[in-house]
């Protein structure tokens, strides 16, 4: 069955058009592949929005669910345009067959989804792999090369991915007789449906070896540890996902490899708070600096890099200062964010006798 479009967008079933649009824009920005987002999730979000933003499609989706999405206008994938599901459903209920609708999703999934029109490359393609990693906040100031050890499918070195024992003959597949496809029939409430699907015996090749590889047992791949180096770009934010194409599981019998998705989490820093590309911190200043002004040193994410802030005379506690280009590198464009420093006037809890006397004199002067 299709996923719940409302859950994908994170909205309630009675959400307004404005709420749906806002949710779509926020999620599309977060998961856009060009910004390191999850491509699969981005397509799901777009698919959900295309249905829920259209009044007619949304009404149809609410009534029939994902199995019927789009079919009221376009008919079956085979071309029965104009099929009225509303009338059909009513007729089926009148005939005492309403319970058949419980399995409609499975029927469409089998005959118009997973089985129909699948290419042999889809069958042989390796799985995608997702791994997580943590980095320190200071690490995002520049690109970092990280190495990961992953236990995954790799091309079998004995048969070079063919699945056949070296030197054996390749013969015609007896199941599909060399066609690479087989016919399947099933009786449904629509009648008997026949469709073609990739041959399960040969995986759509139309041929099989007389003897399969002794190492991979005909799969063309084996599992082993592999070290993969990934460059984590400067400016990456917590939760972003990097896609490394072709670095997932090797495909069956030299089929396309899956992709590797690296999800990056940035650790919280004890001094700095990150907001997109900007950094925020708080530092204390002496009472004399607040009154008379001065130059103070503030903490920096960069090692051995000093940052000085000029505090003007008469600065009040809580004042926020901005230092340009001292934040985080922008992930998807050039330039740097800014550093925002909030100053707090330090009130000492203990004073020397001399300090007390000086403050008493200042008090007499109206300070």
CATH number at residue 230: 2.60.260.20
Q: What is the pLDDT of residue 121?
A: 62
Those residues with Cβ within 8 angstroms of residue 10's Cβ, 6 or more apart along the chain or in another chain = 23, 27
pLDDT digits (tens, 9 = 90+) for 25-65: 888 888 877 677 788 888 889 888 888 998 888 888 887 66
Do 27 and 118 belong together in one domain? yes
- pLDDT band of residue 248 (cuts 50, 70, 90) is very high
Residue that wins the pLDDT comparison between 341 and 30? 341
Do 116 and 150 belong together in one domain? no
Q: How far is CA 344 from CA 223, 286, 296, 321, 349, in A?
A: 58, 9, 12, 12, 15
Do 260 and 138 belong together in one domain? yes
Q: What is the pLDDT of residue 189?
A: 60
Rounded CA-CA distance 159/165 in Å is: 6
Those residues with Cβ within 8 angstroms of residue 242's Cβ, 6 or more apart along the chain or in another chain = 36, 230, 232, 233, 236, 261, 262, 263, 264
Mean pLDDT value across residues 10-35: 86
Q: What is the pLDDT of residue 260?
A: 95
Do 22 and 92 belong together in one domain? yes
Q: How many domains does the chain have?
A: 3
Q: What is the pLDDT of residue 119?
A: 59
Mean pLDDT value across residues 115-144: 82
Tell me the pTM. Answer: 0.60
pLDDT of 92 over the 70 cut: no
Q: What is the pLDDT of residue 99?
A: 37
Q: What is the pLDDT of residue 108?
A: 46
Residue that wins the pLDDT comparison between 28 and 109? 28
Residue 94 token pair: 């009148």
Do 21 and 104 belong together in one domain? yes
Q: What is the mean pLDDT of the chain?
A: 81
Residue 349: domain span:
273-364
Residues of the chain with pLDDT > 70: what percent? Answer: 81
pLDDT of 304 over the 60 cut: yes
The domain boundary residue, chosen from 124, 148, 180? 124
Domain at 34, CATH number: 1.10.287.110
Is 173 part of a structural domain of the chain? Answer: no
pLDDT of 252 over the 70 cut: yes
Q: What is the pLDDT of residue 96?
A: 40
Rounded CA-CA distance 184/110 in Å is: 11
Q: 204 with 180: CB under 8 angstroms? A: yes
Angle at the Cα of 199 from the Cα atoms of 204 and 169, rounded to 5 degrees? 60
pLDDT of 324 over the 90 cut: yes
Q: What is the pLDDT of residue 192?
A: 74
């Amino acid at each position: 069955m299709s996923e719940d479009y409302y859950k994908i967008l994170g909205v309630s079933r009675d959400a307004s058009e404005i709420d749906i649009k806002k949710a779509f824009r926020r999620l599309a920005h977060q998961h856009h592949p060009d910004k390191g987002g999850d491509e699969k999730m981005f397509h799901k979000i777009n698919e959900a929005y295309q249905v829920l933003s259209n009044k007619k499609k949304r009404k149809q989706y609410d009534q029939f669910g994902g199995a019927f999405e789009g079919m009221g206008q376009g008919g079956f994938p085979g071309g029965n345009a104009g099929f009225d599901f509303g009338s059909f459903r009513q007729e089926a209920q009148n005939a005492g067959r309403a319970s058949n609708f419980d399995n409609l999703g499975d029927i469409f999934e089998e005959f118009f989804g997973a089985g129909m029109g699948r290419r042999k490359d889809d069958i042989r393609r390796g799985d995608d792999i997702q791994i997580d990693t943590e980095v320190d906040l200071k690490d995002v100031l520049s690109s970092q090369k990280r190495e990961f050890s992953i236990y995954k499918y790799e091309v079998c070195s004995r048969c070079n991915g063919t699945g056949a024992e070296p030197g054996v003959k390749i013969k015609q597949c007896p199941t599909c007789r060399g066609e690479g496809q087989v016919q399947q029939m099933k009786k449904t409430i629509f009648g008997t449906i026949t469709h073609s699907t990739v041959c399960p015996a040969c995986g759509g090749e139309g041929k099989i070896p007389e003897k399969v590889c002794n190492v991979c047992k005909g799969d063309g791949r084996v599992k082993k540890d592999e070290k993969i180096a990934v460059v984590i770009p400067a400016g990456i934010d917590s939760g972003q996902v990097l896609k490394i194409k072709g670095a997932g599981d090797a495909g069956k019998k030299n089929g396309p490899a899956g992709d590797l998705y690296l999800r990056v989490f940035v650790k919280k820093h004890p001094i700095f708070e990150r907001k997109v590309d900007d950094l925020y911190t708080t530092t204390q200043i002496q009472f004399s600096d607040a009154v008379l002004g001065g130059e103070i040193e503030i903490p920096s994410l960069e090692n051995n890099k000093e940052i000085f802030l000029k505090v003007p005379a008469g600065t009040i506690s809580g004042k926020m200062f901005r230092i340009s280009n001292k934040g985080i590198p922008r992930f998807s464009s050039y330039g740097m964010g800014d550093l925002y420093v909030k100053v707090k006037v330090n009130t000492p809890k203990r004073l020397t006798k001399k300090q007390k006397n000086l403050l008493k004199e200042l008090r007499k002067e109206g300070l």
